[in-house]
Structure 1
């Protein structure tokens, strides 16, 4: 159960979804992730639901496998000192606090990197560590709106739509995990740390990179179009006789094969459609002709025809189909959460490494489940741990209040 990040110790104070996703990916790669949570409620995402399985949130479970939970009261000076002890022995510290709170607690990156030069400090925020809006709170919805992502998403001539998943959070988590992993290479070679500054807005701007580049190069400003305004034509969904499927014609040779395969060979011979620029200029006409043809047969029939011709296509699958998709199952993308009798699943990280032949998949931690264990590993004696619990500086899994603080 090793991996390239085996031996890396991560202290993660992030909440909600982006930060926990980032630290989960690091844990999947072998890191020891210590999840630091506040007393009583813990991570906000523990209470995101329904759905709940028992008292556990499915959202929380999906971003917190392979971690250990420690509860520390940062309002108590000894709790704060305890956290600093953990940070001092860690390789990576992750946070998504408000900058003012960080400075008040002496947990800002200037202070911690001065005290611990080896430390990789990963700051996760809505809008980044600098700029006029650095202190604004950030959530997925706001990032999708501000980045322009919503302005190009939705049905044609309809109002802008949010991509209906935590896209900003997951992308930001991936970006953070990538940057931290890169910083670890230098840390292991040179013994020095780094500052990783990752934001929801920056991640969504990266998603929008091709659209921004096209607009700045002279393309008209895009609007919601149901996915029919790609740089490529034909590259969108169509309604077959029974259901929708998408067709992606990626180059000129593919276009000629496509026309023959669907029974419209004359289109392949037209000089005004020989290249993508011409097809884009005639997109509306093409969509009408192709759409009428696709509507004459079922989606399954077109899948067979187009597969034989080497044309990328796919059914527009519902989630009930996604979770039973033969490729999804063959790749073991769905991970049953241990101890839940199959009632909860998470999604496997989107990478495979030979150094991790068996996927790491330990159950998400209960709140404070590992407080005593982790502190003992960091040199705290039994009597010291008992005293910290008594004064409320820390909580273990048995002493915590399991109800959410409203």
Structure 2
């Protein structure tokens, strides 16, 4: 049984209605066959920037993420709601010949197709680039899979957890004495989704010059591994294998979490000027000027004694008092927020980065794009759709099907 959250009883989020939003990609039409998080996140980014996205879903079932819960809000999973804003939902059975025919009619008008199926499944369904590219030479065909379309692992299924394990990020996340940990959000999904949006936008711009579409192949493993580039290149340059260090970075000194008199604080002393400003703010400028700690390399060599000095000082005042002092001296520092702290962040609420939007069944929370274009940051045009809510409109207005034709498709189980 689905557990409902009962609306939004916890935090009063600002209400945002549908509006024009950002229109940089207005005119781009995207057909989205992807499910779960990675692909839908990528297409939501395109939709937030102005593209028209048609989310094609299996009749009666829909996106896998619709079923990820509890909790559920108005019958929908918050996971689904987090990555499907500004889209139109069309129910279409691609295993049905008429369903595939309708997809191709949509593709004849579209610019982009996004899929998150392996090469074998794409070919089985007839939606692979080798088949569709010649029929639609202007089509940008974007695949997002675990390991790419052509590598030795291309046939393998994948989830965020698996990609994080392959990338090395889990081995370096957590305290040294504990087991490897995945990142606390589906990082590989979100990074790969961003790569889809970035590559599609680049291919769209290139098509304006060449008139030709493109095949895009995004791998969750590759996206997540590229995320590790600073750590990976450090190893490749030195053969020094880094280990888990929790919030204590092994390259920058000092860059970690400290206790205060009440709550923890993060502190980053990433260059010599910040180092000197920190000790001046602490009332001990002589430490900042001590040649023993002159460079980052010097400070790394004496990390333990420096950490002990800073820890002793920061325990003397509560967190918020320290944050005021550090902010006043332009020293990078911040709280270790829980999600309930994030959800009540006054700046995020004032900017309407966190907001609520109305659906047919009630209000749902949303996390905005966070990118400002020409002074505007609100992107909300349409709330995440219920399963198939736009089917009738797409078939009748976009594909110009008659009511009788639509009913025949329903009777046949194609939509």
**What is the TM-score when the length of structure 1 is the normalising length?**
0.93
| Residues 145-156 of structure 1 aligned to structure 2 (within 5 Å) | 145-156=165-176
Cα distance in 1 for residues equivalent to 2:183 and 2:400: 46
Distance, in Å, in 1 between the alignment partners of 2:59 and 2:252 is 52
Give, in whole Å, the separation in 2 of the partners of 1:318 and 1:53. 22
- Aligned ranges for residues 183-198 of structure 1 at < 5 Å? 183-198=203-218
1:185 to 1:18, Cα distance in 2 relative to 1, 3 A: same
Partner of 2:156: 136
Q: Give the conservation status (yes or no) of the 8 Å contact 1:3–1:355.
A: no
Show the counterpart of 2:400. Answer: 379
Report Cα offsets for 1:194-237 as digits up to 9, x if no partner: 11111211111121111011111116211211120242111111
Answering whether residue 87 of structure 2 is matched by residue 72 of structure 1, we say: no
CA offsets per residue over residues 80-127 of structure 1, 9 Å max, x none?
A: 111121122210000011221211222111111111110001100111
Shift of 1:263: 3.5
Q: Is contact 2:74-2:361 (8 Å) kept?
A: no
Change (3 A) 1:9 1:309: same
How many residues end up aligned between the 2 structures?
A: 394
Q: CA deviation at 1:350?
A: 3.1
> CA–CA distance in 2 between the matches of 1:300 and 1:176?
40
Q: Which residue of 1 aligns with 2:37?
A: 17
Name whichever of 103-112 and 12-21 sits farther off: 103-112
- Find the residue that maps to 2:242 and give its secondary structure: coil
Please state whether the residue corresponding to 2:189 is helix, strand or coil: helix
> How has the CA–CA distance of structure 1 residues 67 and 164 changed in structure 2, closer, same or farther, with 3 Å as cutoff?
same
Say yes or no: does 1:99 pair with 2:114. Answer: no
Which of 155, 161, 176 is 2:196 aligned to? 176
Instruction: Trace 1:302-317 onto structure 2 (pairs within 5 A).
Output: 302-317=322-337
Q: How does 1:333-352 map to 2 (within 5 A)?
A: 333-339=353-359, 344-352=364-372
User: Displacement, 1:264?
Assistant: 3.6
Tell me what 1:390 maps to.
411
Task: State the distance in 2 between where 1:383 and 1:185 align.
Answer: 40
For residues 358 and 207 of structure 2, the distance between their equivalents in structure 1, rounded to whole angstroms, comes to: 34
Identify the residue that residue 187 of structure 2 maps to in structure 1.
167
Q: Which residue of 1 aligns with 2:9?
A: none
Contact 2:29 2:112 in 1 (8 A): yes
* 2:140 is aligned with 1:120: yes
In structure 2, what is the Cα distance between the partners aligned to 1:342 and 1:69?
18
Distance 1:329 1:357, change over 3 A: closer
Structure 1 residues without counterparts, runs of 5 or longer: 395-406
8 Å CA contact 2:369, 2:377 repeated in 1: no
Equivalent residue runs for 1:218-229 within 5 Å = 218=238, 220-229=240-249
Of 105, 127, 130 in structure 2, the residue corresponding to residue 85 of structure 1 is 105
Instruction: Say if 1:4 and 1:355, in contact at 8 Å, map to a contact too.
Output: no
Q: Bigger CA drift: 370-379 or 339-348?
A: 339-348
Normalising by structure 2, report the TM-score.
0.91
Cα gap change, 1:282 to 1:355, in 2 (>3 Å): closer
Q: Structure 1 residue 231 and structure 2 residue 261: aligned?
A: no
The aligned counterpart of 1:45 is 65
Answer whether contact 1:303 1:313 (CA < 8 A) is retained.
Answer: yes
384-393 or 213-222, larger mean C-alpha shift: 213-222
CA distance 1:278–1:171, shift in 2 (3 Å): same
Q: Distance in 2 between matches of 1:124 and 1:9?
A: 18
Q: CA deviation at 1:346?
A: 1.5
Q: Report the CA distance between 1:311 and its aligned residue.
A: 0.4
Query: What is the CA RMSD across the aligned residues, in angstroms?
Result: 1.7
Task: Indicate the residue corresponding to 2:16 in structure 1.
Answer: none
1:200 and 2:207 matched = no
Cα offset for 1:326? 2.0
| Superposed displacement of residue 344, structure 1 | 2.5
SS in 2 for 1:152: coil
